[in-house]
A and B are shown apart, each in its own frame.
Chain A
Amino acid sequence: MVVTLGSRRRRAALRTAAFMSPWLIGFAVFFAYPLLSTVYFSFMHYDGFRPPSWSGGKNWVYVFAHYPLFWPALRNTLWLVLVMVTLRVLFGLGVGLLITKIKTGAGVFRTLFYLPYLAPPVAATMSFAFLLNPGTGPVDSLLEKAGLPAPGWFNDPAWAKPALTLLALWGIGDLMVIFMAALLDVPAEQYEAAELDGASPWQRFRYVTLPNISPIVMFAVVTGVIQTMQYYTQPLIAGKVASGVIQGAGTQFEPGYPDKSTLTLPQLVYNLGFQRFDYGSACVVALVLFALSMAFTALLMRRRGGLIQAGD
């Protein structure tokens, strides 16, 4: 039987496609379809009950020009991405560095720092709302006893996001473990060589540790940005608990209590799509999230190139 070059190539291509099919199916179902349908519905009037109808750019105009919660939510999300992610990475790295230096009892400290990460987000947020309660919480009582100003935390628009950041820093266990693994993986001979060259501790960190762990730093930042873009549970629960208003028959819950300070973009997707039955506008917000995620990731990828070159 004569096998031509063309048929061999076709067979190889089919084989490749067969091996790739699980990924291709997953990509089509979980990525391509949601993306395309989100773009499609962003141009449609769709309430989930009646068939969708074309609305042109009406949803886009509404979200950007008339939806009063959009800009506060965007500002809050960007604040959290810039401040919370940065502090989480720095704190995680700092704790990781400290724990790798501890000679005795390191296991205990690792466990202590990792445990909060295992706490369910709802329970953890409710606990923080209790601890930081400006009237009855122990934190403000201690601050007052120490003669320091006692913030309103989740009840004060100026302090709500810093309080959420504290909560995020408390649950730093995931980053600590990753950074610890990366730090322990840095070749000891590089530190020895640097010491022989008279490098200071800061120079050893800057020119040995940081370049070695930079892929991990990048991973922590990128995943941190993605998680923060989807930040939903903690601000919602904190706002609800602090407001003291539980949505019931005939009552309305104000998203983002206090004064929209805990409002994030994913909450808007829920508010528009599932409370107001405006799926088109919800899809617009989802696409804004998508664009922001892409922009941040692209920016970080570029910056990482610069970081490695500087380390070289």
Chain B
Amino acid sequence: MPEVIPSAARKAAFALTVSLALLTTACTGQSGTGATDDASKDTTINFWHAWSAPNEVKAVRSLVAGFEKAHPNIHVNVVGNMTDDKINQALRSGGDRAPDVISSFTTNNVGKFCSSGALVDLGPFFRKSGIDPAKTFPKAMNEYTRFEGNRCAVPLLGDAYGLYYNKTAYRKAGITAPPKTWSQFETDARKLTIPQGDGYEQLGFMPDYHGWESTTEHYFAQFSPTYFAKDGTSDLAKDPAFEKGFRLQKRLVDELGGFRRLERFRATLGDEWGPKHPFHTGQVAMQLDGEWRLGMAEAAKPKFEIGVAPLPVPDDQAAQYGKGYITGTIAGIAATSHKQNAAWEFVKYVSTDTDAVVGFANDIHNVPSTLAALKSPKLKYDPRFKTFLDIAADPDSTTTPASVNGGQYLVTIQQFGYDYESGKVTDLKAGLRKTAAQIDTDIAQAK
């Protein structure tokens, strides 16, 4: 018979357990400082970005080539396909191989980057160069690149959200024009919905918050909500825009078949980034989505004509039809960089030089991020893409503000949205109060 494991072996087992548990969870790190440099001297800066597709990488190369031609003394070492996690790590550690300039696909971390000083405040650089960001960038883009008075980022192309619709399905349903208000939208979504068994032959619109881009923040942008009060606390329970937004979405869910049926149907649909996206296949007749969907949908060669329009607005805000949700890629200068002046020359070029921004937008097929570029005659686009350019330039378009703990408050709101749409939460007002309190607690914890 085997003997009882000796004491030493038992201790070794404990040590192994403890080591394994902790190896994956060790917490270390350090902070760094900036430095001054002479941007007129020969130097090389590191630029980290997240683009990875061959056409995108080519576009970045072309952008950098334009900069190096204009600034022959500053060379740019480009490192692509860098995720936010890698960028965050590099911003903490610094060093010669760390980035001088970073760009991120998400605006979520701007609050943390600005408040922690991980990215330098670009305000003094803008003033030194005589550039006014408020007059350079569209309003929403100008907003999501700063936090509590600190401008630590610049927009580097943007995304605008609008409504895609199946023109063929519209004609069959007798709809002559895209809806301008949510009440018209509700009517159209019902008309376009053709049930089939437990599912749908065609669904007018997938309203669920998991319906790819139909997230809470994208819906709510049409209601122009105020996420935070002046004292920094959540306005979720106080601003009626949120209640209206939640109620609209819940009505759509109930009217179009109910949560369970819609979720079951959703599970049968293709993924967001593939050719079998349900809008491409005609399974969903209207889609809330970003400007990139147009190219993707056309590439999938759909059997119908695609229409594009701004998303509807609440009936009492009909005058603001044309607005939408705006987000985009951001860029900034690492506080650990010893070449901040050279890095600024690069950031200034890629974010404010009209021809550079237009060229990059043409190559990447995103919305340009300066007011001048939005009006540039050199901009090449499908006529339908103009809708997104107009949404981006619309002063009523909104974004989600930066927060000290990234996009956590949006995750919390979205989480509440799941509970409300599924019927798990029925008292909306109480739920909004509880969610606002949770957001305040999370922010207090992050400060």
A residues at B contact (CB < 8 Å): 27, 30-31, 33-35, 37-38, 41, 46-51, 58-59, 62, 66, 68, 133-136, 152, 155, 211-212, 214-215, 218, 222, 226, 229-230, 232, 242-246, 248-254, 257, 259, 266, 269, 273-279, 281-283, 285-286, 289-290, 293-294, 297-298, 301, 304-305, 308, 311-312
Q: Quote the shortest CB–CB distance from A241 to chain B (angstroms).
A: 8
A278 partner residues in chain B, CB cutoff 8 A: 405, 445-446
Q: Could you pull out 24 A-B pairs where Cβ atoms are within 8 angstroms?
A: A30-B19, A34-B23, A49-B112, A50-B31, A66-B445, A68-B438, A134-B264, A136-B268, A215-B5, A218-B5, A246-B273, A249-B107, A250-B218, A250-B328, A252-B407, A259-B418, A276-B442, A276-B446, A278-B446, A286-B21, A286-B26, A297-B14, A305-B4, A311-B1
A133 partner residues in chain B, CB cutoff 8 A: 267-268
A31 partner residues in chain B, CB cutoff 8 A: 15, 18-19, 22
Judging by beta carbons under 8 Å apart, are A230 and B21 in contact?
A: yes
Please, which residue of chain B has its CB at the minimum distance from the CB of A27? B15
Judging by beta carbons under 8 Å apart, are A243 and B20 in contact?
A: no
Please, which residue of chain B has its CB at the minimum distance from the CB of A297? B17
Contact A289-B2, Cβ < 8 Å, known A244-B212, A244-B269, A277-B446: no
Q: How far is the CA of A151 from the CA of B423 in the complex (A)?
A: 20
The 4 closest A-B pairs by CB, nearest first: A135-B268, A286-B25, A250-B327, A49-B116
Q: How far is the CA of A71 from the CA of B357 in the complex (A)?
A: 47
Judging by beta carbons under 8 Å apart, are B272 and A289 in contact?
A: no
Q: Quote the shortest CB–CB distance from A273 to chain B (angstroms).
A: 7
8 Å CB contact of B271 from A30, A246, A277: A246
B81 at the interface (CB under 8 A from A): no
Q: How far is the CA of A170 from the CA of B112 in the complex (A)?
A: 42
Query: Which one of B52-60, B85-93, B373-381, B387-395 contacts A?
Result: B85-93
B26 partner residues in chain A, CB cutoff 8 A: 33-34, 37-38, 286
Q: How far is the CA of A47 from the CA of B5 in the complex (A)?
A: 43
B193 at the interface (CB under 8 A from A): no
B181 at the interface (CB under 8 A from A): no
B27 partner residues in chain A, CB cutoff 8 A: 37-38, 41, 46, 273, 279, 282-283, 286
Q: How far is the CA of A301 from the CA of B31 in the complex (A)?
A: 43
Query: Which one of B311-319, B345-353, B409-417 contacts A?
Result: B409-417
Q: How far is the CA of A290 from the CA of B15 in the complex (A)?
A: 11
Interface 0/1 of B249-273, CB less than 8 Å to A: 0000000000000011111110111
A308 partner residues in chain B, CB cutoff 8 A: 1-2, 4
B407 partner residues in chain A, CB cutoff 8 A: 252
A281 partner residues in chain B, CB cutoff 8 A: 445
B217 at the interface (CB under 8 A from A): yes
Please, which residue of chain A has its CB at the minimum distance from the CB of B330? A249
Q: How far is the CA of A262 from the CA of B159 in the complex (A)?
A: 31
B303 at the interface (CB under 8 A from A): no
Name the interface residues of B11-38: CB closer than 8 Å to any CB of A: 13-29, 31
Please, which residue of chain A has its CB at the minimum distance from the CB of B144? A250
8 Å CB contact of B272 from A134, A136, A215, A244: A244
Question: How many residues of B are counted as interface, with CB atoms below 8 angstroms from the partner's CB atoms?
Answer: 76
Q: Quote the shortest CB–CB distance from B406 to chain A (angstroms).
A: 6
A259 partner residues in chain B, CB cutoff 8 A: 418, 422, 424
Q: How far is the CA of A294 from the CA of B18 in the complex (A)?
A: 7
Q: Quote the shortest CB–CB distance from A63 to chain B (angstroms).
A: 9
Q: How far is the CA of A298 from the CA of B407 in the complex (A)?
A: 40
In addition to A277-B446, A308-B4, 8 A-B residue pairs with Cβ atoms within 8 Å of each other are A35-B18, A66-B441, A152-B264, A249-B105, A252-B215, A269-B25, A275-B406, A293-B20
Judging by beta carbons under 8 Å apart, are B106 and A250 in contact?
A: yes
Please, which residue of chain B has its CB at the minimum distance from the CB of A256? B415
Judging by beta carbons under 8 Å apart, are A249 and B116 in contact?
A: no
B241 at the interface (CB under 8 A from A): no
A215 partner residues in chain B, CB cutoff 8 A: 2, 5
Contact A293-B21, Cβ < 8 Å, known A252-B414, A281-B445: yes
Judging by beta carbons under 8 Å apart, are A245 and B212 in contact?
A: yes
B406 partner residues in chain A, CB cutoff 8 A: 275-277
Contact A290-B18, Cβ < 8 Å, known A30-B23, A38-B26, A276-B408: yes
Contact A230-B272, Cβ < 8 Å, known A48-B92, A215-B2, A301-B5: no
A-B contact count (CB 8 A): 207
Q: How far is the CA of A277 from the CA of B113 in the complex (A)?
A: 10
Contact A155-B272, Cβ < 8 Å, known A37-B27, A226-B21, A269-B25: no
Q: Quote the shortest CB–CB distance from B84 to chain A (angstroms).
A: 9
B400 at the interface (CB under 8 A from A): yes
Q: How far is the CA of A50 from the CA of B29 in the complex (A)?
A: 9
B325 at the interface (CB under 8 A from A): yes
Q: Quote the shortest CB–CB distance from B436 to chain A (angstroms).
A: 13
Interface 0/1 of B100-113, CB less than 8 Å to A: 00000111100010
B91 partner residues in chain A, CB cutoff 8 A: 49
B145 at the interface (CB under 8 A from A): no
Q: Quote the shortest CB–CB distance from A12 to chain B (angstroms).
A: 20
Judging by beta carbons under 8 Å apart, are A46 and B29 in contact?
A: yes
8 Å CB contact of B159 from A230, A250, A276: A250
Q: Quote the shortest CB–CB distance from B374 to chain A (angstroms).
A: 18
Q: Quote the shortest CB–CB distance from A15 to chain B (angstroms).
A: 20
B210 at the interface (CB under 8 A from A): yes
Q: Quote the shortest CB–CB distance from A242 to chain B (angstroms).
A: 7
Q: How far is the CA of A286 from the CA of B327 in the complex (A)?
A: 34
8 Å CB contact of A249 from B24, B328, B438: B328
Q: Quote the shortest CB–CB distance from B443 to chain A (angstroms).
A: 10
Q: How far is the CA of A66 from the CA of B442 in the complex (A)?
A: 8
B217 partner residues in chain A, CB cutoff 8 A: 250, 252
A297 partner residues in chain B, CB cutoff 8 A: 13-14, 17
8 Å CB contact of A304 from B5, B268, B327, B412: B5
Q: How far is the CA of A37 from the CA of B28 in the complex (A)?
A: 8
Judging by beta carbons under 8 Å apart, are B31 and A290 in contact?
A: no
B301 at the interface (CB under 8 A from A): no
B28 partner residues in chain A, CB cutoff 8 A: 37
B218 partner residues in chain A, CB cutoff 8 A: 250
B415 partner residues in chain A, CB cutoff 8 A: 68, 254
Q: How far is the CA of A164 from the CA of B18 in the complex (A)?
A: 25
Judging by beta carbons under 8 Å apart, are A49 and B13 in contact?
A: no
Q: How far is the CA of A146 from the CA of B265 in the complex (A)?
A: 22
Q: Quote the shortest CB–CB distance from A178 to chain B (angstroms).
A: 15
Judging by beta carbons under 8 Å apart, are B21 and A47 in contact?
A: no
Q: How far is the CA of A297 from the CA of B4 in the complex (A)?
A: 15
Q: Quote the shortest CB–CB distance from B51 to chain A (angstroms).
A: 12
B117 at the interface (CB under 8 A from A): yes
Q: How far is the CA of A243 from the CA of B271 in the complex (A)?
A: 10
A58 partner residues in chain B, CB cutoff 8 A: 445
Q: How far is the CA of A217 from the CA of B118 in the complex (A)?
A: 50
B355 at the interface (CB under 8 A from A): no
A68 partner residues in chain B, CB cutoff 8 A: 412, 415, 438
